[in-house]
Amino acid sequence: MKRALPSAIVPRIDRSAGIAYHRQIFQSYRAAILDGQLRPGQRLPSTRMLARKLGISRLPVLDAFERLLQEGYVVGRVGSGTYVSAAGFDRAETVDRAVDVGPFRVSAPALDQFPHHIWRRLVARHARNMPIDMMAYGDPLGHLPLRMAIVEYLRSTRGVSCDESQVLITSGSQMGLQLCALALLGRADSVGVEDPGYFGARRALGIGGATVRPVPVDTEGLLVRALGSGRGRCPRVVYVTPAHQYPLGVPMAQSRRFELLEWVRCNEAWIIEDDYDSEYRYVDPPLGSLQGMDGGTRVIYMGTFSKAVFPSLRVGYIVVPRSLVKTFVDYRESLDLFSSTLYQAVLADFLREGHFVSHLRRMREVYKSRRDALVDALARRLDNMLSIVNADAGLHLTALLPQGIDDRRIARAVGERGISALPLSACYAGKETRAGLVLGFGCADETQLDRAVEVLAHVIESKCVGQKWSC
């Protein structure tokens, strides 16, 4: 049923602001979608009606709607109007990730700490002496020296059981996820994803039309018993982040790992193990990979250099069971023949010459200090309002808010102050949600984090007043 636009979100035009009307209209709707005031499926007024209501020409309204459409906040249905898109929030989040550089940004490493001088030297070396065969078409699996260096790293640090013929270089984990969707899932299949979970995985795994099924997560990881059983009735693929559950940060317990592996064997399903962030653990050594426990038969292992090197490199990898290598390579070639050989060669040297491991060792100290600063500041300023789920690893932590607090409203309010906190409720695909904030600490130093917590505390204190939960 079509729902009318609540009058509260009809954009108000400030004629004296010196900001173009189309921008004001666009920003107002975008904010309403982010805030949750406008929900997926809700209808926007016609451009003609809105222009009349605002007392302006139709042109700026059309421009604003065009941009909302382009950026995926709304969808247009011929002859029936414009509606808030189902992917509205995810889309907004992606756009924010690309443009927002505030503290607490999730998935953002400390790019200023990267050993640029070493990288420059390696790029120059390869660019100067590029042999002719490196200019030709490359191996769809990826540059062999890089695959060999990855195998060595994964065997020694993550207990992954593989050789280089099973490693496929991808354009980041996102491409790895798309390949899994193409190779493992048909339209009639379903894929189980952690809930809350990584929106990038939900989006990529659903591209071929498979049903994406949210599966709850508790303090030990994905609830295996919620997957159900029986071929055709339960998911064919399960996506998990066992080293550091995204976004809650809990590692998957050993007993849960055994349970999941047993479930997968009984139901002839596949696991996608996204081992993002496994490089950064600040307490006891991490548990090894699920892939290693399984012997590499039913697990597709996935890693990326986006955090440990830098995201614009767009190099990730998947380790594929032997029985699936050919299928994955065929799909890889159909998406894109192979990744840029020059940067694969540079990265191979970065690993082989020990720069990667030294960089990780140094960054573990940097991030640990930032994490400690954030944990301390939250304890000092927001101890009675935020409870940290787990801060033992990774580049972000998740802190829960008391029941009744609207985390999107808080995220929006701190966003207006240049701070990008991700609302936990936005990470859920199912009905059950918890309110909280996902706070990155990778790209801001201790002083910036301290200041950001101060702003967050002010916002939470002011926004709590008048809500069900009282400060």
Residues of the shown chain interacting with ligand PLP in the complex, contacts defined by CB under 6 A = 107, 172-174, 198, 241, 246, 274, 276, 304, 306, 311, 316
Question: Is 321 strand, coil or helix?
Answer: coil
Least CB distance to ligand PLP at residue 81 (A): 34
Least CB distance to ligand PLP at residue 311 (A): 5
What is the length of the chain? 471
Q: Read off the tokens for 193.
A: 């994803």
Residues 6+ apart with CB under 8 A from 396: 106, 107, 247, 249, 438, 439, 440, 441, 442
Least CB distance to ligand PLP at residue 306 (A): 3
Q: In the complex, which residue's CB is closest to ligand PLP?
A: 172
Q: What is the DSSP string of 269-307?
A: -EEEEE-TTTT-B-SSPPP--HHHHHTSSSEEEEEESTT
Least CB distance to ligand PLP at residue 172 (A): 3
Task: Give the nearer residue to ligand PLP in terms of CB position, either 173 or 344.
Answer: 173
CA distance 352 to 150: 9
Task: Give the nearer residue to ligand PLP in terms of CB position, either 194 or 259.
Answer: 194
Task: Give the nearer residue to ligand PLP in terms of CB position, either 276 or 343.
Answer: 276
**Side by side, which strands form the sheet with 270-274?**
167-170, 316-319, 299-304, 270-274, 237-240, 190-195, 211-218, 221-222
Least CB distance to ligand PLP at residue 148 (A): 21
Task: Give the nearer residue to ligand PLP in terms of CB position, either 73 or 198.
Answer: 198
CA distance 336 to 142: 12
Question: Is 350 strand, coil or helix?
Answer: helix
Least CB distance to ligand PLP at residue 201 (A): 7
Task: Give the nearer residue to ligand PLP in terms of CB position, either 104 or 198.
Answer: 198
Strand-pair category, 270-274 with 237-240 = parallel
Task: Give the nearer residue to ligand PLP in terms of CB position, either 302 or 411.
Answer: 302
